[in-house]
Amino acid sequence: MESGQTLLIIDDNAQTIHLLTSLMEGQAAVHFAKGGLEGIQLAKTLRPDVVLLDLDMPARSVPPGMSGLDICKQLKGDLLTRDCAVLMVTGHNSDATELAAMRAGAVDVLARPLHGPMVQMRVQTQLTLQRQAAALHKLGHLDGLTALFNRRYFDTQWDVECRRHRRQNQPLGLALVDVDHFKPFNDTYDHLQGDDALNRVGQSLQSTARRPGEVVARFDGDEFAIIIPYASAENLVSLGDRICDSVEGMALPHASSDTAPVVTVSVGLVSGVPADDDSGQRMLDLAVQALQRSKSQGRNRAVASMSDR
């Protein structure tokens, strides 16, 4: 099975779910929902690569009257699920039905009775296309120096995570990391060694942020940012301390530092449940303030703030 790829089946028929699950075994991690509302919520959580959706979802589905076309339109209209490939399954095989599915945002239509090898081939094609699109997307969002994600990717992902954590009423964390006395480092050594230092700090952050979903990005110049999903206060403090210890532990000489004889970092952290569309910017501002306090308190330390929602 291709690592990390996910497939979601939305169908109210248990036999169809069983058949499609058996056909997809080994191609992706398979999940299923038996109703429209359940399927939409699960898709927002899983963000699957491929959705197999019953176009003929009956009026008794939840909520009543939500058809497969309605579900598809909602999936393609939501920021969290718009990139998934939707294949619609229908017993009404006609040009009009296929056209309606495509207009709703589907990439393909599978006609009943389902032909196993054909289903497998079409799903595998979409999984392959999703992998290729993800690879191209990633290349466009990487920092050229550190190979971490760049600021553009951070901005997009931060917005996505704020929306997801607001919907789930779960705390989201953010760490801003600044290399201490980086300008004197460049002046004392040279820009090539400065670039090497940034690269090594980035690698240290990448190895320190190990929890699932944590995103490390080069934020601006000698600043980095880490998105921390489901961030409890304990997780936040622990991560901040590990970041400082890891960078200092590299023992990269810094003769011009007033803080330590080696390269160190200051860290500002914030955690909270995003409450509205403005929460992301407020949390970012709080992280900047925490970073400033870290510097004013002597640098080479982590300072945390809690969002007021």
pLDDT of residue 1: 45
Contact 23, 119 (CB under 8 A): yes
The reported pTM is 0.64
How high is the pLDDT of residue 133? 85
The residue assigned the tokens 């990439």 is: 107
| Domains of the chain by start residue, with CATH | 6-139 (3.40.50.2300), 151-306 (3.30.70.270)
**Of 308, 291, 305, 5, nearest to 135 (Cα)?**
5
Q: What is the pLDDT along the chain (309 residues), one digit of tens a residue?
A: 445 799 999 998 999 999 999 999 888 999 999 988 999 999 988 999 999 999 987 644 555 667 899 999 999 988 789 999 999 999 888 889 999 999 999 999 999 999 999 999 999 999 999 998 888 777 788 898 998 999 999 999 999 999 999 988 999 999 999 999 999 999 999 889 999 999 999 999 999 988 878 999 999 999 999 999 998 877 888 899 999 999 999 999 999 999 999 999 999 999 999 988 888 999 999 999 999 999 999 999 999 986 654
The pLDDT, as a whole number, for residue 170 is: 92
**DSSP-H helix ranges across the chain:** 14-24, 36-46, 68-77, 95-104, 116-139, 151-168, 182-188, 191-208, 233-249, 279-296
Q: Is the dihedral of CA 117, 107, 38, 93 positive or negative?
A: negative
Encoding tokens for residue 165? 């954590």
